[in-house]
């Protein structure tokens, strides 16, 4: 198994919080449109794919949905509350030490290895809660024998990671995740770029989505050790939206598109 750099790149998207079920998900087509719009006339062979797990999450959230139906008698209020549970509830209720979470991680890992087996260079774009799954799976893959040899990117099942609106800066996620997996000796660097909107409340945990500055999210994982082998950057973006709308507005942001373009072409 080795990555063949002449093969088309695959941008694998793992979604996060959103409304609806698996059938409603189309973030990979949004990412394709975004990357196409940044390529101009440059020839680049690439495909996009999506790892879906929302149906598994919905099973877990069923009890919360029922509770809301009991509490909110007004049909309009019920619809709003139900959507809000879908959007934010995933983050809070997603206990990451459960069998459901383990199934999601395993499924995502298998999807990455399937792309790796086919020889396509794979880049992961992870949104919201999906960024936590991506963090866990990629770090786990780095511990496996024969993968992520720092001297050869052909052994890397994932060439780079882009996270969008990640809640990894919140204590509920980062207090137990203290560091990234070191790659050891070598000169190749694994790239992780984290994009966040300053008013995105799922990034900051701020109720009213107040503007944030000087906030370290992914960069908390940077280490001065040359053995770490990661390049980690936080990039604030202005999606032009506020509060929860900002959280779902990364998909067509030009800065995100340029970052993705830069990652898949270098």
Partner 1 sequence: MDGPGHGKRREPMTLFLLILMFLLTTMPAHSADTLKHQAAAALKEFFQVTGPVAEFHGRYEDTPPEYGATCRVRLDFSEPGQEYFTISGEYTPSTSIGDGIYFDAPDDTFVTVNFEGDTLILEQRLRDTFSTGTHTYMRLHQQPGIIKVTIRETSRLLFFSSTQVKHCVISME
Q: Which stretches of the chain bind partner 1, using CB under 8 A?
A: 85, 88-89, 91-93, 95-102, 105, 135-136, 139-140, 143, 167, 169-172, 175-178, 181, 201-202, 204-207
Question: Measured from the CB of residue 191, what is the shortest distance to partner 1 in angstroms?
Answer: 18
Cα gap 169→214, rounded to integer Å: 13
For residues 85 and 77, give the distance between their C-alpha atoms in angstroms, rounded to a whole number.
Answer: 12
Pick the closer one to partner 1 by CB: 217 or 260: 217
**Shorter beta-carbon distance to partner 1: residue 205 or 240:** 205
Residue 227 near residue 183 (C-beta atoms within 8 A): yes
Q: Between 204 and 253, whose beta carbon lies closer to partner 1? A: 204
- d(CA 196, CA 168) in angstroms, rounded, equals 11
Q: Which is nearer to partner 1, 3 or 88 (CB)?
A: 88
Closest approach, Cβ 246 to partner 1, in A, equals 13
Q: Which of 165, 18, 23, 167 is nearest to 83 (CA)?
A: 18
CB of 137 to partner 1, least distance (A): 8
Nearer to partner 1, 120 or 128 (CB): 128
Residue 48 Cβ, how far from partner 1 at the closest point, in Å?
26
- Minimum distance of partner 1 from residue 164's CB (angstroms): 17
Exposure b/e, 84-114, CB count within 10 A at least 16 = b: ebbbbbbbeebebeeeebeebbebbbebbbe
Provide the β-strand partners of residue 11: 48, 123
């Amino acid at each position: 198994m080795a990555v063949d750099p002449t093969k088309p790149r695959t941008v694998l998207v793992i979604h996060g919080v959103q409304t609806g079920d698996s059938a409603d998900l189309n973030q990979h087509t949004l990412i394709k449109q975004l990357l196409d719009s940044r390529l101009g006339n440059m020839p680049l062979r690439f495909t996009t794919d999506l790892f879906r797990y929302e149906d598994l999450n919905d099973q877990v959230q069923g009890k919360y949905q029922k509770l809301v139906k009991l509490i909110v008698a007004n049909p309009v209020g019920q619809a709003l509350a139900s959507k809000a549970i879908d959007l934010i509830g995933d983050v809070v209720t997603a206990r990451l030490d459960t069998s459901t979470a383990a199934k999601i991680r395993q499924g995502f890992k298998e999807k990455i290895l399937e792309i790796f087996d086919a020889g396509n260079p794979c880049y992961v774009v992870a949104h919201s809660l999906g960024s936590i799954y991506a963090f866990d799976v990629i770090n786990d893959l780095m511990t496996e024998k024969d993968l992520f040899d720092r001297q050869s990117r052909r052994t890397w099942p994932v060439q780079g990671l882009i996270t969008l609106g990640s809640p990894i800066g919140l204590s509920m996620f980062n207090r137990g995740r203290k560091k990234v997996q070191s790659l050891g000796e070598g000169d190749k660097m694994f790239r992780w770029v984290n994009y966040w909107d300053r008013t995105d409340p799922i990034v900051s945990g701020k109720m009213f989505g107040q503007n944030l500055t000087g906030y370290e999210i992914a960069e908390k994982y940077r280490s001065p050790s040359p053995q770490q082998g990661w390049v980690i950057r936080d990039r604030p973006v202005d999606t032009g939206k506020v509060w929860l709308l900002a959280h779902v507005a990364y998909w067509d942001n030009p800065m995100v598109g340029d970052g993705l373009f830069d990652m898949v072409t270098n």
